[in-house]
Amino acid sequence: MQRAKELELLSNCLALAKAKTPYMEGDETLVPVWKYTDKARFDREYEAFFRAAPNLVAHRSQIAQPGDFITRQVGAVPALVVRGSDGSVNAFVNVCRHRGAIVEPRKRGHCKRFVCPYHAWTYRLDGGLDRVRHQDGFPNLDVASTSLVQLPAFEASGFIWAVADPTANADFVAALPTALLDELKGFDCASLDVFDSDSRTWKANWKLIVDGGLESYHFKIIHRDTIAKSFLDNGSSFEFIGDHIRSVLPRTSLLSLAERPQSEWDIRKHTNVLYSLFPNASLLVQEDHVVLILITPLSVGETGIEVTSLVPTSAVRSERAIRHWRANHALTVTTLREDFEIAEQVQRGAASGANEHYRFARFEAALSRWHELIDMKLGNP
Ligand code: FES
């Protein structure tokens, strides 16, 4: 993040905190409840965002070495993301070209070849078909021109994106704003390593999961036993960077900046910076580490979520440090579960018919703008 932007964000937060007022813009808005429960609407979102748009699929460290791989569900496509022999990233449809078995069933690992578990067709790291057992039984098979179906993939600023549509234009990275990639690079995300990861399926529409990260009105209530004491009440502000949102969540320590010269101001010390990366990821930048949250919609009322703590490699050297990061990861998971449990409750309540609309306040304007973006991308409300 450029220093001028950092100072601007901190100045704005400080001014709001001194005035004891939340950041507000626009009008109070209404969002129809059916958008969270309607299967046809979900199918349209799924096609437009989770099949046709770039989805964040991994942190660099999850496939750091040639032969490292990770498997993901990207939209309806089982994807295999692998670091090639030349260090580049490739993504493939994880489906065998013989009779369609999942080629690599493990979540992640390391190998020199992928061997299909059904009849042992073997694929190289570049996806090419390497070996076919009893090949004389396939007189019409051209092994040299047969490979796993490639997906467009791209690595930037420490993260890897892929598109589930094999026919998508490989230049899709143009959809990722340079300003966003530069900010992530500035936080040195590429130098981090996975410390721990937690996955679970939640019975809530994917938009409820994102909604929860776009306001801090709820902090003092549902996070009262975890992180509430560390943050100002309803203090978050936001800014769009292309389709993505940067939210700044001021810590209580922010008020101390009023007594200090700007040369000492550090956004990571006095706020959490949350990037809602459209459509499927959130990145929570904290003082000394980063949390990556990956969202995988499974159905209109079901979402898979993976929470991964990324920490500086040099910070995990002693037993004491490991205890520290373990406690930190546990607190993150517990706090996010508080959000996701509420999302499940809202999804249950959505079917009751009690509400025709949900109501977003002027200080929940990030939700209003985000839902407007979705409507705009789908072409109508
Ligand atoms: Fe993969 Fe037969 S389905 S080898």
What is the number of the ligand 1 atom nearest to the C-alpha of 101? Answer: 3
Q: What is the pLDDT of residues 330-369, one digit of tens each?
A: 999 999 999 999 999 999 999 888 999 999 999 999 999 9
**For residue 379, which amino acid is it?**
G
Structure tokens that stand for 23 in this block: 């950041």
What does the pLDDT read at residue 277?
96
What does the pLDDT read at residue 52?
86
Pocket test for ligand 1, best of 98, 102, 146, 148 (most atoms within 8 A of CB): 98
Confidence of residue 1 (pLDDT cuts 50, 70, 90): confident
What does the pLDDT read at residue 337?
97
- Unique residue bearing structure tokens 């626009």: 26
How far does the centroid of ligand 1 lie from the alpha carbon of residue 380, in Å? 43
What is the number of the ligand 1 atom nearest to the C-alpha of 96? Answer: 1
* pLDDT of residue 92 exceeding 90: yes
How far does the centroid of ligand 1 lie from the alpha carbon of residue 102, in Å? 8
What is the number of the ligand 1 atom nearest to the C-alpha of 133? Answer: 4
Q: What is the pLDDT of residues 141-158, one digit of tens each?
A: 999 999 999 999 999 999
Within 10 angstroms of residue 341's Cβ, the number of other Cβ atoms is: 13
What is the number of the ligand 1 atom nearest to the C-alpha of 97? Answer: 1
For CA atoms 330, 335, 340, 341, the dihedral sign is positive
What does the pLDDT read at residue 321?
87
What does the pLDDT read at residue 373?
95
Closest CA to 161 of 153, 172, 171: 153
How far does the centroid of ligand 1 lie from the alpha carbon of residue 143, in Å? 14
What does the pLDDT read at residue 377?
93
**For residue 246, which amino acid is it?**
R
What does the pLDDT read at residue 168?
85
The more confidently predicted of residues 318 and 121 is 121
How far does the centroid of ligand 1 lie from the alpha carbon of residue 99, in Å? 5
Structure tokens that stand for 131 in this block: 């070996």
What are the CA-CA distances from residue 122 to residues 85, 304, 336 (Å)?
Answer: 16, 30, 40
What does the pLDDT read at residue 233?
87
What does the pLDDT read at residue 174?
60
How far does the centroid of ligand 1 lie from the alpha carbon of residue 131, in Å? 11
What is the number of the ligand 1 atom nearest to the C-alpha of 100? Answer: 3
The answer to whether the CB of 120 falls within 8 A of the CB of 129 is no
Peptide bond before 279: cis, by omega within 30 degrees of 0? yes
What would the mean pLDDT of 243-253 be, rounded to a whole number? 95
CA distance 99 to 116: 10
What does the pLDDT read at residue 351?
87
What does the pLDDT read at residue 170?
66
Most confident of 79-83, 234-238, 251-255, 317-321: 79-83
Which residue minimizes the CA distance to atom 2 of ligand 1?
Answer: 119
pTM of the model as a whole: 0.94
What would the mean pLDDT of 35-60 be, rounded to a whole number? 94
How far does the centroid of ligand 1 lie from the alpha carbon of residue 122, in Å? 9
The answer to whether the CB of 6 falls within 8 A of the CB of 271 is no
**Cα dihedral 176→246→339→223 (10° resolution):** 160
Q: What is the pLDDT of residues 216-229, one digit of tens each?
A: 999 899 999 999 99
Contacts of residue 369, Cβ cutoff 8 Å, sequence gap at least 6: 26, 238, 240, 245
Pocket test for ligand 1, best of 80, 118, 122, 131 (most atoms within 8 A of CB): 118
Alpha helices in 250-362 (DSSP H): 267-270, 319-350
Q: With pLDDT > 90 as the criterion, what percentage of the chain qualifies?
A: 87
For CA atoms 61, 59, 62, 331, the dihedral sign is positive
What does the pLDDT read at residue 104?
98
CA distance 104 to 118: 11
Residues with Cβ within 6 A of ligand 1? 96, 98-101, 116, 118-121
Buried b (16+ CB within 10 A) or exposed e, 263-281: eebebbbbbbbbbbbbbbb
Beta bridge partners of 153: 162
What would the mean pLDDT of 317-321 be, rounded to a whole number? 85
Within 10 angstroms of residue 187's Cβ, the number of other Cβ atoms is: 19
How far does the centroid of ligand 1 lie from the alpha carbon of residue 132, in Å? 9
What is the number of the ligand 1 atom nearest to the C-alpha of 103? Answer: 1
* pLDDT of residue 381 exceeding 70: no
- Helices 206-213 and 365-378: crossing angle in degrees, nearest 10, is 140
Residue count of the chain, please give it.
381
Closest CA to 226 of 323, 324, 307, 330: 330
Which residue minimizes the CA distance to atom 3 of ligand 1?
Answer: 99
